[in-house]
Amino acid sequence: MPQVTVGVSLKTYFGHERARAWFEDVAARVRDHDAVRSGAVSFFVTPTYLQVLPAIDAFAETPVRVGGQDVSAHPAGAFTGEVTAAELAEIGATIAEIGHAERRRLFGETDAVVAEKVSAALGAELTPLLCIGETERQQPADAADVAVEQLRSALADAPAGAVIVAYEPVWAIGAPEPAAHEHVRVVAAALRAALGADAARSGSSVIYGGAAGPGLLTALGDAVDGVFLGRFAHDPDALMSVLDEASALAARRASRSLSEERSDALRLASLAQEPENAGDPA
């Protein structure tokens, strides 16, 4: 069944005990969520480093994926304060968030650093959650050019492996409203085309972040593979509403795929029943 992806970054909004309570609450709910349990909806969360292990424990009996909000570009060694991709993978994390606008703006991360971190993550068999997006409001076609260039830069020398591309126009992060639907459609289509042209990125997806909330998945439909939530998801009730929305979208996609498969089967069966020489002149 086609997947719809929903992700949540907790940034550093939660202290340790509040994060643990949130994990336990959300884990109890998703254990009974049919679409998450079946895999029709893929759900992930990226808490702080200190919260990664409690999150892994809380979600142990669910398909929920847990990742870090950052990862070191370096291997193990004399890199004080860093957390390596290998260690994240060792403790059970499966995702590494890389290149978020805040990392670029506040900590000076460049495209070159982002590329190094993507390679480190893929080398440790972590899925990079690659955040990209234009800093200023632009025409959709221009924004698509910026996004695709960031994508290509990040993946140019990276090992093979799927990535989750989180398209987050920087000007929309924390804004009252997300980017216009047509804007997202144009940029997401360009990103999908770039990923589809790269055989090393099979299984990759494009999700939208930046003031994402309820109703957005329904409005965007097949334009994206999911959404990346921020503070909206701090309320578990609100998060579940988006997971329900994702479930409905996944069901529609699955129904359409099944219908297309049946149409293809009928067409092939019809062709098989045609006389062998039906097209030959008498």
Residues 247-278: tens digit of each pLDDT: 999 999 988 755 554 554 445 455 556 655 55
Q: Active-site residue among 97, 109, 134, 168? A: 168
Q: What tokens were used for 250?
A: 């996944």
**The predicted structure's pLDDT at residue 266:** 47
Contact criterion met (CB below 8 Å) for 43 and 6? yes
Q: Active-site residue among 100, 109, 183, 245? A: 100
Helical axes 16-30 vs 236-273, angle rounded to 10°: 40
pLDDT tops 80 at residue 124 = yes
- The model carries a pTM of 0.90
Between residues 214 and 55, which one has the greater pLDDT? Answer: 55
Q: What tokens were used for 99?
A: 């290149």
**The predicted structure's pLDDT at residue 177:** 84
**The predicted structure's pLDDT at residue 211:** 84
**The predicted structure's pLDDT at residue 254:** 87
> Across residues 65-94, what is the average pLDDT?
98
| Residue 99, Ramachandran bin (φ over 0: left; ψ between -120 and 50: alpha; else beta) | left
**The predicted structure's pLDDT at residue 173:** 87
Does residue 136 carry a catalytic annotation? no
**The predicted structure's pLDDT at residue 272:** 58
HSE-CB of 47 using CA atoms within 13 angstroms: 26
Does residue 168 carry a catalytic annotation? yes
Between residues 210 and 133, which one has the greater pLDDT? Answer: 133
